[in-house]
């Protein structure tokens, strides 16, 4: 009982305050989420609201993580923009709709980061970018913007690139729900067979 209460107390601590001279820095933890295949079913270049089907268990995972003091941050490769399948405006429209649906479940998505670039893209989008996973760019931007304690944070993704990006960014816990056709990753700390298994990361609220 003592161990359980102690664990619950730790999980309920949302942030850490550091003092540097006269400056107070509030540090926090984050649950980094890939989008397609984790938040919604990956149907391939999903950008229309009518095509969004939320993954079973994702609402409970986000809600429990939020109650445990984690920021909820999406980091998603969106090469469909770079390939000309849809626009950045299309992405923002569908993400705004998804945020509304999450809000209906008492979930606040703190921010989403996306990378539209691809080596085989068109026009201005045809280039390499450290933001594109397995690069760590998006996670490091979030770290700077939200003062995130990366070692105390979690990455939840479905592809090897998600795990490698999290490893490069110093994320302490990396959970992988392997996407059909993709191998598991040596960077993953835990392989899931069902998304709901991630609830075990937040035992005080499961």
Q: Would you name the residues annotated as active-site residues?
A: 34, 36
CA nearest to 191, candidates 165, 151, 159, 169:
159
Which whole number is the average pLDDT over 65-86? 97
Predicted TM-score (pTM) of this structure? 0.88
Strand partners, 33: 74, 156
Quote the CA–CA distance of 92 and 96 in Å, as a whole number. Answer: 6
Give the pLDDT score at 16: 60
Cis before residue 162, ω within 30 degrees of 0?
no
Q: CA-to-CA distance for 118 and 80, rounded, in angstroms?
A: 9
Q: Is the pLDDT of residue 1 over 70?
A: no
pLDDT value of position 179: 83
Q: Are the C-beta atoms of 62 and 72 separated by less than 8 Å?
A: yes
pLDDT digits (tens, 9 = 90+) for 131-174: 999 999 999 999 999 999 999 999 999 999 999 999 999 999 99
User: Domains (ranges, CATH) in the chain?
Assistant: 30-201 (3.40.50.1000)
pLDDT greater than 70 at residue 54: yes
């Amino acid at each position: 009982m003592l161990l359980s209460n102690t664990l619950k107390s730790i999980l309920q601590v949302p942030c850490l305050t550091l003092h540097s001279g006269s400056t107070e820095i509030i540090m926090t933890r984050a649950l980094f989420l890939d989008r397609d295949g984790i938040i919604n079913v990956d149907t391939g270049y999903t950008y229309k609201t009518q095509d969004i089907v939320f993954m079973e268990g994702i609402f409970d995972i986000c809600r429990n993580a939020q109650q445990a003091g984690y920021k909820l941050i999406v980091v998603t490769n969106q090469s469909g923009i770079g390939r000309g399948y849809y626009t950045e405006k299309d992405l923002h429209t569908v993400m705004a709709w998804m945020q509304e649906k999450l809000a209906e479940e008492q979930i606040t998505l703190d921010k989403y980061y996306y990378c539209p670039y691809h080596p085989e893209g068109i026009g201005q989008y045809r280039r390499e970018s450290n933001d594109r996973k397995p690069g760590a760019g998006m996670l490091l931007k979030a770290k700077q913007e939200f003062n995130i304690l990366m070692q105390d944070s979690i990455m939840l993704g479905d592809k090897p690139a998600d795990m490698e990006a999290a490893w490069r960014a110093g994320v302490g816990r990396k959970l992988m729900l392997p996407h059909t056709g993709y191998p598991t990753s040596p960077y993953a700390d835990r392989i899931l067979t069902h998304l709901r298994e991630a609830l075990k990361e937040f035992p005080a609220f499961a």
